[in-house]
């Protein structure tokens, strides 16, 4: 894959940048699942004023564009990787929250939940053991898509020169390659391919999980293909 403008092996930097990208994607998506699952679960199960307040807060965060929030965090506190993880988590957790909220609303009056209530189980136990495990499958699909979105955001900030200077990343390679597009094409092509493959991989993972958790949809697709 050649070398970059300071003599580093591009293959080595792409491989090392994969660790940063995957850390960013998986950690941001996991934290978003934790926050969104908690907020959406409590709002869907509690109802009333608690539901109204939590969902209005969710809608407030949902209207904030991801890149605008990331740029705001970088401008105020710098471009450290962990700050970017927090910024991306804040921007994407409402997606998980709304999915969990809808699932919990649909499940909280089901028979197995009513049995748990009659047995005297506390509300926290009903939510954690009976409802959330059944509400999570559709959210897992969204988490896989959000991981790709987090990687794209981190790479975009690096391309703009706003990435973490202490962590070699695909975005940094793309930023440095802007001045060498005509003389060193490999500096931009290989990091760009790595970004594209990572996002496609998470998208395919999301499609696969969707087929696993939605067997009726899978059977319908097979029926049409026949």
**Structure confidence by residue, pLDDT tens digits, 6-30:** 788 888 888 888 888 888 889 988 8
**How many domains does one find in the chain?**
1
110 in a structural domain:
yes
Residue 1 lies in a domain: no
Nearest partner of 70 among 62, 79, 58, judged by Cα: 79
> Strand, helix or coil at 133?
helix
What gap in Å lies between CA 68 and CA 61, rounded to an integer?
12
Decide: pTM greater than 0.75. yes
**In CATH, what number is assigned to the domain containing residue 140?**
1.10.3720.10
Domain span including residue 145? 10-225
Q: Is the pLDDT of residue 225 over 70?
A: no
| Residue 4 domain flag | no
What digits encode the pLDDT tens for the residues 170-194? 888 888 888 887 888 888 888 889 9
Specify if 28 maps to a domain.
yes
Is 172 inside a domain boundary? yes
Q: Is 92 within a domain?
A: yes
Examine residue 3 and state whether it is found in any structural domain, yes or no. Answer: no
10 Å Cβ neighbour count for 15? 13
Residue 107, domain member (yes or no): yes
Q: Above 60 in pLDDT, residue 224?
A: no
Which positions ≥6 away from 21 have C-beta within 8 Å?
Answer: 151, 154, 155, 169, 170, 194, 195, 198
Report the SS3 class of residue 3. Answer: strand
133-159 pLDDT, tens per residue?
777 777 888 888 888 888 888 888 888
């Amino acid at each position: 894959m050649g070398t970059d403008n300071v003599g580093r092996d591009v293959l080595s930097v792409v491989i090392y940048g994969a660790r940063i990208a995957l850390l960013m994607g998986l950690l941001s998506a996991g934290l978003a699942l934790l926050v969104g699952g908690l907020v959406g679960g409590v709002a869907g199960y509690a109802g009333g004023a608690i539901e109204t307040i939590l969902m209005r807060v969710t809608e407030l965060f949902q209207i904030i564009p991801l890149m605008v929030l990331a740029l705001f965090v970088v401008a105020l506190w710098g471009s450290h990787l962990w700050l970017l993880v927090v910024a991306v988590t804040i921007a994407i957790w409402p997606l998980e929250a709304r999915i969990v909220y809808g699932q919990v609303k649909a499940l909280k009056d089901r028979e197995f939940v009513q049995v748990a209530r009659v047995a005297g189980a506390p509300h926290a136990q009903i939510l954690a053991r009976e409802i959330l495990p059944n509400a999570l499958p559709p959210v897992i699909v969204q988490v896989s898509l959000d991981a790709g979105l987090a990687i794209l955001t981190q790479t975009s900030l690096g391309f703009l020169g706003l990435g973490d200077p202490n962590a070699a990343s695909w975005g940094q390679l793309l930023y440095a390659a802007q001045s060498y597009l005509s003389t060193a094409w490999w500096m931009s092509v290989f990091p760009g391919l790595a970004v594209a493959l990572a996002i496609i991989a998470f998208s395919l993972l999301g499609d696969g999980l969707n087929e696993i958790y939605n067997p009726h949809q899978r059977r319908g697709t097979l029926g049409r293909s026949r």
